[in-house]
Amino acid sequence: MSASRYALSVWQRNFAMYRRTWKLNILPNFFEPILYLVSIGIGVGAYVSQMGGVSYVAFLAPGLVAVAAMNGASFEVTYNAFVRMNFEKTYASMLTTPIQPDDVLAGEVLWAMTRAGIYGGCFFAVIAAAGLAPLPTSLWALPLIPLTGLLFAALGIAFSLRIPNIDLFSYYFTLFLTPLFLFSDVFFPLAERLPRWGQQVAEVLPLLHPVRLVRAAFSGAFSPILLWDLAYIFALSAGLLWLAARVTRRRLGE
């Protein structure tokens, strides 16, 4: 990918749209964590005294920060990017200016990371206000939010570029993101419940790595496996973006 400062123009286009509607959009970002905390914290939490050495709500909180980042990025590079590319002809119009296909891709990924940052950031703020994020150590989670955004922007855009029909996104959300959400250390410690082969499968899935990193930031306990988590995120993102750049150049330059 050979993106340039023109990627910033693409980012600014999306930002101009968002600035118009952010007051409407941002409220749900705050409600979602509150709903989770109230429902599971007060409901399920009452039956589960402890998990992973902390209260159940405290166990849940870091995983949900990573999930919020995943969701924030995923919507941008799936439905929204698909509409911009195929219906609104946004990219066709950008390519009449000095903007190149690589800039479009880089700008969209940057924007998805920004949305992940807003979404995950709001979530973090609520959790911190509820006293569930030990300060200052949990602040290490903040840079992990856009990093999670990068990973899921790369996954989502690689999928979006290959599908011919917007309805296929329901597969992506239901058959890919939902299982990730359920089996990535968010709701229960995988190591305690899954057999060895199950843990090995989970290790391949992308959400486990951001969750483990954010959880470590919250607990302040460093372990060497976190280096593997970081390496996984960077390597998979880079590989997918390299692929996406090739497809973008071909699709936008036909």
Q: Which amino acid is at 20?
A: R
Q: Is 86 in the site for another protein (CB under 8 A)?
A: no
Closest to another protein by CB, 20 vs 246, is 20
**56 forms bridges with which residues in the sheet?**
none
Kindly state the smallest distance separating residue 95's Cβ from another protein, in Å.
5
Instruction: Select the residue interacting with another protein from 5, 49, 175, 197 (CB under 8 A).
Output: 5
Q: How far is CA 48 from CA 44, 51, 167, 188, 195, in A?
A: 6, 7, 39, 11, 22
Within 10 angstroms of residue 54's Cβ, the number of other Cβ atoms is 16
Both tokens of 248, joined, read: 């973008």
Tell me the number of residues near another protein by CB under 8 A.
24
Please count the residues of the chain.
Answer: 254
Indicate whether 97 belongs to the interface with another protein (CB under 8 A).
yes
2, 47, 53, 96: which one binds another protein (CB under 8 A): 96
**Binding of another protein at residue 90 (CB under 8 A)?**
yes
Calculate the CA dihedral of residues 187, 190, 191, 195 and round it to 10 degrees: 140
From 48, 51, 95, 125, residue interacting with another protein (rule: CB under 8 A): 95
- Per-residue x/- mask for another protein, residues 9 to 38, rule CB under 8 A? x--xx--xx--xx-----------------
Tell whether omega for the bond before 101 is within 30 degrees of 0, i.e. cis: no
Binding site for another protein (CB under 8 A): 5-6, 9, 12-13, 16-17, 20-21, 88-90, 92-100, 252-254
